[in-house]
Structure 1
Amino acid sequence: MQAELIEIRNHMVQHAPFDELPTEMMDKVVAGIEITYFQAGTDILELGQNNNYLHYVRSGAVEIFRRSGELYNRVTEGEIFGQIGLMMNRTVRFPARAIEDTLVYQIPFELFQYLLQSEEFTDFVEIEDRSRLRSANSRREKSNQLMTAKVTRLINRAPVIVPNTVRLQEAARVMTEHGVSALPLMDESGDKPRLCGIVTDRDLRTRALTHALPSETPISDIMSTDVTTTHSNAFIFEAMLTMLHNNVHHLPVMDGDTVRGVIALSDIIKHESQSSLYLVSNIYHQHDVKGLKKLSKDVPDTFVRMVNEDANSHMIGSAMAGIGRSFSQRLLELGEEKLGPPPVPYCFMALGSMARDEQLVVTDQDNAMVLDDSFIPEEHDAYFKALAKFVSDGLAECGYTYCTGDIMATNDKWRQPLKVWKEYFADWIDNPKAEALLNSNIFFDLEGIYGETRFTDELQEFVAKRASGNPRFLAMMARNALGRTPPLGFFRQFVMEEDGKHNKTFNLKRRGTAPMSDLIRIHALACGSRAQNTFNRLKAIGATELIPEDGVDNLRDAFEFIAIVRIRHQALAIEAGRKPDNNVRPEDLSPFERSHLKDAFQVVNQAQKFLRFRYNAGAVRNA
């Protein structure tokens, strides 16, 4: 092959979809390419004209327009245009004009048809930018068995179940005879049996043997009645997240009211190589902060294993949040052992990424305490201040750095009775000044992770009702959210930092996932949703007519892609022995990632424009 043709091929195979095509196909295509130069301002394709070429931009920039003349897209180096017209009678549907001096590789129609023999190429050109994001996300997830395998794959025997009327000795005999570590218990007093409880081998040890209960004790006396279950149609990853979130080791699998089987922690550990559940289990076996600190060194490896197994961002974020939540819960248990029982009921509240189930390895502490309204500062606060310090110092030992903004339970302001928290939220919503808006972005992602979690349930309900009924607050939130824009310039070029240690990079959290979390939170508040996780918020928004139907899908795909590129960036840093961060250099990304990140950032741009329009954010003024 001539040197010129080799140079053309080497350039094209750096960009999607040509990076996935076989060498022999690319050689044939490159041999038939025609090279054309267009000066800035020149029309390349005119509406309705006949077109016989797929266009590949070698250098320069091209604007694509709709029939109405409205700007539709901008394409730059390594991108293609003209494919839609080729697939529709070779008639131009989207006019194109060079906005810079532009060099184009033109691929004749016959070779375009030849390329369509490739499934990868066909998938790429048959769908538009935002659908390509969906295709990219789907293709990656299909390679992960945890994402595609149903939980029933882990069930290898019929369920062993007994009525809740059996005695302790009989239950133990059944479990021993069948070799099971958990026994679902059925209430047979109604028209049809229903699951009413579960007893595990641990229950037998801690609740029966330890207290020397008689063998004739009803099993219902020691069973757990608040049973966490999953449905037989659930995927394995969903079962894994359920076990992480609820800290359970046995999960009944249900078909309606019928117990299909019981899966154990060990079943998922055997099935998956990312041992996040195993790590969580070990956290609760540690007896001091020293043991927790030693165990925390396994967290980065767990994160990397999940990334390398192609888990999606929701699964990784939930698993890492589950690990962080478990460290907090175990520290609270150790703190209570050291300080004694709390003088009044309380709830330890997680904020930010942990509350959203979107935590990664680069994270700090964001937490608070909600105390019972019987709290008397002079009598009780010394205990809770000491407990908060024990937990915060312990988390810091385990790699969760102190919050630079002091959003921690060690701050007296964030250790308050439930009634005071309601006053806080009411004031932030009713008087949305600058500080209130800042607090709203932090505290409106909240979850109770220990103690009286009903306190945070009340707060979530309070916020959902009050915020949805306050258009001015939503408008101020929307205006505030527009301050963080994606790093995409007018010509679809990445906009990067120009000074400091992060020169020539862009921040995938501050300029990517954070703006998306902000705008999705606002829509969720507007529709009265109590959901905290971004994907769950999108589901709640989709159930309304708040935004156009395809808008929810576009946001979901864009958020997933930006999040997974950010996650991979951190994993690569860990594997290379570097400190992970959120600052990415475009040259470190693959052509596939660069192209699809631009698609995702365009979605964010459009979503922010809609946010401004939907909440009239341009007209609102600060209080």
Structure 2
Amino acid sequence: MGAALPPAAGPELESLAASLESGRHAAGTTIFTAGDPITHLHLLAHGGVEIREAQGGLVSELGTGDCFGERGLLRDGLARTTARVTADARVWKLPAEQLHRLIDTYPAVAGHFRPVRGGTAGGEATVLATARADMLMSTPVVACAPDATAAHAAGLMRDHHVSCIAVVEDGKLCGILTARDLAERVLAERREAHTPVAQVMTSQPETLSRDALGSDVLRRMLQRGIGHLPVVEDGTLLGIVTQTDLTRYQARSSAHLVLAVGEAGSSREMALVTARIPQLLAQLVEANVPHEVATRLLTDVTDAVTCRLIALAEARLGPAPVPWVWLACGSQGRQEQTGVSDQDNCLLFDDSATRDDVPWFHELAKSVCHGMHEAGYVYCPGGMMAMNERWCQPLSAWKRYFHGWVDTPSPESQMLASVMFDLRPISGALPLFGQLQPWSLALAASNSIFAAHMISNSLQHTPPLGLLRGLATIRGGEHRNRIDMKLNGVIPVTDLGRLYALRGRIPAANTRARLVAAGETGVTSPSGARDLVDAYDLIAALRLAHQARLVRAGRKPDNYLDPSELSDFERGHLRDAFVVVRTMQSAIGHGRGAPN
């Protein structure tokens, strides 16, 4: 098992030994086949066993001390791979109920199997950046009807000691009224005290979902210049998050960086803030924050830098001639940034722009991209930036781009499509992006030839699996004997997530969200999606942990992991995770979403 039990566990050990079943298997026999029911954990006492994927490809070769079959056992009871004996073997079998009992009783055993069972360590967030909006909001909410008078609303604010009240009609939020609204729209304009609230409230206010993070609240408040954000679920008002709520809730981590960026007056000042990102990464890892939350918080800082640079540029250039939207792609677009990030972005503006209008957007793009470079987000080596006129275009030009990539899937088209199908709006007229994304997803989903080329392109990124039980490392050069946890780790899963998104017209750009949605919508099997999410969680978490170790050692974070940094348990689970990725690649390569 590889997990030590305490000395007091004598009776437990006796029960465990009594439940073990021993079996001998001759070379050439099959212990189980992919899809077979799994009722026991298998431990190889001696001999040899090879593990093959459902399509027959060799995954790994096992030796004395290895265990297998646990992924199916801890999931839905079905084997994910085929186990074939290569040398006469003796195998011990532990019943599922005994394994679950050990996992539930002994933390050491639970720690060994947690990556397979699913989920990433990390308790409820205790800092503002990771706190959910429903943990921050004020309740109960003080409310009034749209036809209430301004005087009545002011009295409610006074009596309840609040700076904002909700305006509700038929149980639905239709606006909010703040003390600032009363000052600017009633007193300053000398309106009568009996003026209906509907005439002075903020209609259709910016809202958040209950699972939005504190960093989202901060970014929205800074970007929109507001101090109150209603939290809404299915149209029903749950509460309101105010600046006072944020002040009460002790802010740390990315919240501090976002606030500091919002106060910066230049890219050089922002560089002083972004220089603290590696330490933030290390703190998040040490706090056992799940990888998908950690990378989102790191991306929030990038988003804040982008929005602040845009605001500074607009103050200098004046108002835009036509609507526009700034888009992030790559890891920023997917909200998956780590301690190693360059910039990837583009600009889309309305087709009503004239030739005289275009220079305004070119100036905006240059200002922001140069500023991001100075702030620590270096220029994209491939020129995938809005300052490149190719990526600063009107909506019609972007549609022509997507048409060309889908209709003529050349190697360059596949590369560009892989980047541009990860677009996420950061600032500007967000509805403009709504005119592009659903259209481009429908275009890609309807072209089977394009889909086939994208699948073929994605399969060029393979997990680093060796033939003899271990992990395949880089053979030479500066990173010899290491694993590229980006190119051979997260990118294969990112590619799969993108393929599922194109196949199912899934709007999410985030890889994990795409995988979850693919399982929920039937793009791939639910069990396959769960396995892939678990595999991705482990791969991404180990990548972040590696970067955090480098930061703590005073070194620059990178993606090259030495397997010797990991325990035997971690190496075994990492290998298992790569097996899942390879299996899912084979499945989609054979025209199926996932093995059943």
TM-score, length-normalised on structure 1?
0.78
Cα separation, partners in 2 of 1:296 and 1:116, compared to 1, 3 Å:
closer
Aligned pairs for 1:301-312 within 5 A = 301-312=279-290
> Match for 1:411 among 366, 388, 394?
388
Aligned twin of 2:85: 97
1:330-366 superposed Cα distances (whole Å, 9 cap, x missing partner): 1111001112222332211111222212222211111
Structure 1 equivalent of residue 357 of structure 2? 380
- The answer to whether the 8 A contact 1:273-1:305 is kept is no
1:237-276 mapped onto 2 (5 Å cutoff): 238-240=212-214, 242-243=216-217, 246-247=220-221, 250-254=228-232, 258-264=236-242, 267=245, 274-276=252-254
**Partner Cα distance (2:581, 2:189) in 1:** 61
Q: Is the alpha carbon distance of 1:67 and 1:598 closer, same or farther for their aligned partners in structure 2, counting shifts above 3 Å?
A: closer
Q: Which moved more, 1:554-563 or 1:275-284?
A: 275-284
Report if aligned partners of 1:509, 1:582 keep a CA contact under 8 Å in 2.
yes
2:53–2:583 contact (8 Å) kept in structure 1: no
Note the 1:417-566 alignment, pairs <5 A.
417-566=394-543
* Residues 244, 319 of structure 1: 8 Å contact kept: no
1:54–1:83 contact (8 Å) kept in structure 2: yes
Which secondary structure does the structure 2 equivalent of 1:355 belong to?
Answer: helix
The structure 1 residue matched to 2:312, chosen from 325, 328, 334, is 334
Contact 2:103 2:109 (C-alpha < 8 Å) held by counterparts:
no
Q: Partners in 2 of 1:82 and 1:193 — Cα distance?
A: 52
Distance 1:136 1:548 in 2: 17
Q: For 1:199 and 1:77, how far apart are their aligned partners in 2? A: 70
1:119 paired residue among 103, 127, 130 = 103
Q: Note the C-alpha offset of 1:160.
A: 1.6
Distance 1:268 1:596 in 2: 40
Number of residue pairs matched? 568
Partner of 1:18: helix, strand, or coil? coil
- Are the counterparts in 1 of residues 422 and 509 from structure 2 also a CA contact under 8 Å? yes
Give the distance between the partners of 2:54 and 2:476, measured in 1 at CA.
42
Q: Could you say if the C-alpha distance between residues 344 and 593 of structure 1 is closer, same or farther in structure 2, counting changes exceeding 3 Å?
A: same
**Are 1:591 and 2:573 matched, yes or no?**
no
What secondary structure, in the 3-state scheme, does the structure 2 residue paired with 1:519 have? helix
1:289 counterpart = 2:271: no
Tell me the CA shift for residue 493 of structure 1: 1.2
The answer for unaligned runs of 5 or more in structure 1 is 1-16, 34-39, 48-52, 88-92, 617-623
- In structure 1, what is the Cα distance between the partners aligned to 2:352 and 2:54? 66
Range with greater deviation from structure 2 (601-610 or 587-596): 587-596
* Aligned equivalents of 2:197, 2:272: Cα separation in 1: 39
Contact 1:21-1:120 at 8 Å conserved across structures = no
CA contact (8 A) 1:409 1:415 kept: yes
Q: Kindly provide the amino acid, as one letter, of the partner of residue 555 in structure 1.
A: L
1:453 Cα deviation from its structure 2 partner: 1.7
CA offset at residue 530 of structure 1? 2.1
Q: Which residue of 1 aligns with 2:347?
A: 369
Contact 1:347 1:450 in 2 (8 A): yes
Change (3 A) 1:351 1:114: closer
209, 213, 218: which one pairs with 2:189? Answer: 213
Contact 2:445/2:503 (8 A) holds in 1: yes
Alpha-carbon spacing, 1:561–1:422, altered in 2? closer, same or farther (3 Å): same
Q: Which residue does 1:320 correspond to in 2?
A: 298
The answer for the alignment partner of 2:367 in structure 1 is 390
Aligned to 1:162: 144
TM-superposed CA distance for 1:122, in Å, is: 8.2
Structure 1 Cα separation of the partners of residues 149 and 351 of structure 2: 41
For residue 576 of structure 1, the aligned residue among 546, 549, 553 is: 553
Q: Which residue of 184, 194, 214 maps to 2:166?
A: 184
Q: Is the 8 Å Cα contact of residues 138 and 245 (structure 2) preserved in structure 1?
A: no
Residues 306 and 268 of structure 1: CA distance in aligned 2, closer, same or farther (over 3 Å): farther
Query: Residue 614 of structure 1: CA displacement?
Result: 1.0
Counterpart residue number, 1:80: 67
How far apart are 1:183 and its partner, in Å? Answer: 2.5
Aligned residues of 1:133 and 1:599 also touching (Cα < 8 A): no
Q: Is the 8 A contact 2:215 2:255 kept in 1?
A: no
- The DSSP-based 3-state class of the residue aligned with 1:556 is helix
Alpha-carbon distance between aligned partners in 2 of 1:328 and 1:120, rounded to the nearest angstrom: 46
Q: 2:519, 2:529 within 8 Å by CA — same for their partners in 1?
A: yes
Aligned letter for 2:457? Answer: N
1:62 counterpart = 2:49: yes
Quote the offset at 1:583 in angstroms. 0.9
* Alpha-carbon spacing, 1:159–1:27, altered in 2? closer, same or farther (3 Å): same
Kept after mapping to 1: 8 A contact 2:207/2:230: yes
Instruction: Name 1:13's counterpart in structure 2.
Output: none
Using the TM superposition, name which of 584-593 and 305-314 deviates more.
305-314
Task: State how far apart, in whole Å, the 2-side matches of 1:579 and 1:155 are.
Answer: 38
In structure 2, distance between residues paired with 1:528 and 1:310: 33
User: Do the aligned partners of residues 183 and 78 (structure 1) sit closer, same or farther apart at CA in structure 2, a change above 3 Å counting?
Assistant: farther
Q: What's the CA shift for 1:429?
A: 0.5
**Runs of 5+ in structure 2 lacking a partner?**
18-24, 33-39, 75-80
Change over 3 Å in CA distance of 1:410–1:393 after alignment to 2: same
The aligned amino acid for 1:262 is I
How far does the alpha carbon of each residue in 1:62-114 deviate from its partner, in whole angstroms, 9 at most, with x for none? 32589999978643575325889999xxxxx9876355x99x9x87989x999
Shift of 1:447: 1.7
Deviation of 1:411 after TM superposition, in Å, equals 0.5
1:407–1:414 CA contact under 8 A, matched in 2: yes
Structure 1 distance, partners of 2:110, 2:282, is 34
Q: Quick one: structure 1 residues 416 and 95, their matched pair in 2 at CA, closer, same or farther if it must change by over 3 Å?
A: closer
Correspondence for 2:378: 401
Question: Could you say which residue in structure 2 is the equivalent of 1:18?
Answer: 2
- Cα pair 2:281 2:298 within 8 Å, conserved: yes
Higher mean displacement: 345-354 or 475-484: 345-354
Distance change (3 Å), C-alpha of 1:393 and 1:18: same
If the length of structure 2 is used for normalisation, what is the TM-score?
0.81
